[in-house]
Amino acid sequence: MKLYTTISPLQQALKIEREKGFKIGFVPTMGALHEGHLSLVDQAASMCDIVVVSIFVNPTQFNDTNDLANYPRTLESDRSLLSKHRCEYLFFPTVEEVYPEPDTRIFDFGNLEKVMEGEFRPGHFNGVAQVVSRLFSIVLPDMAFFGRKDFQQLAIIKQLVRHLNLPVEIVPCEIVREVDGLAMSSRNKLLLPEHRACAPLIYKTLREARKLSQIKSVDEVKDFVLEQINASQLLRVEYFEIVDDTTLVPVGSWLQPGIKVGCIAVFAGKIRLIDNIIFNIN
């Protein structure tokens, strides 16, 4: 695995790989790697000849400066983890390298950026679009791999690729969970022990909600999720929505066409956790 901190040498190396006819897979991350990230790397390795991983804590997607400051930065342990998987190139740039000039681009994703995360984290998805499009222009991947845990982000990135007509295939990858069901996240490391102990209630409740969806209305299922999780004194639901998986428009009935996804954000103390589940309505 070769480490690059600047753009030009990385691009030169990837140009040589591309001229050999190799397919390049890309896994953009913000570091603090865990098994969820590594599953993306393994998926990329199974589908591509060359795997590039980036570690870059992107300041433009944080609407909370404290969240940016507290985001875990663990380069050495990240490198150690990646060394056990097939990763040919690790890109670890500075903010100045990625943004030599301030990125003032404004993207319009319509309803996709107005609901859920977009409502509670204004400007977040514009920052995501800025950094993802910038990284794509640097790496020029054939395929890029993203986890389904960030379901709304995945929808935004798919729209970004269509909007900019980028020649990259976006590959969604399944959520990786801890043994107790908690969706893996770099933020899990920041949880206090008491919050970590009760955090699995989130996924447990989502699974129960999916069962209830066979006999209860959309509104009744939503009420159930809110009541169950908020009953814990250590957890607070910021939002729970059941949405169309493509438009992200909230659904009012299980009879509406399309796949329905329950998306949730929960505060465990000061740490914000997100998760989602697909509802299978027979």
What b-and-e string marks burial along 171-189, b requiring 16 or more CB atoms within 10 Å of the CB? bebebbbbeeebbbbbbbe
- Residue 273 is inside which H or E element, if any? strand 271-279
What span, in angstroms and rounded, lies between the C-alpha atoms of 105 and 54? 22
- Residue 50 is inside which H or E element, if any? strand 50-55
Q: Residue 156 to residues 99, 118, 163: CA-CA distances in angstroms?
A: 21, 11, 10
User: What tokens appear for 174 in the block?
Assistant: 């399944």
Which one from 37, 85, 124, 195 is the annotated catalytic residue? 37
Contact at 8 Å (CB) between 85 and 45? yes
* Strand-by-strand arrangement of the 169-173 sheet: 2-4, 89-91, 50-55, 24-29, 143-147, 169-173
Tell me, yes or no, if 85 is annotated catalytic.
no
What span, in angstroms and rounded, lies between the C-alpha atoms of 86 and 42? 7
By CB atoms closer than 10 A (0-12, 13-18, 19+), residue 83 is exposed
User: What tokens appear for 2 in the block?
Assistant: 């070769």
By CB atoms closer than 10 A (0-12, 13-18, 19+), residue 84 is exposed
Q: Which residues are catalytic?
A: 37
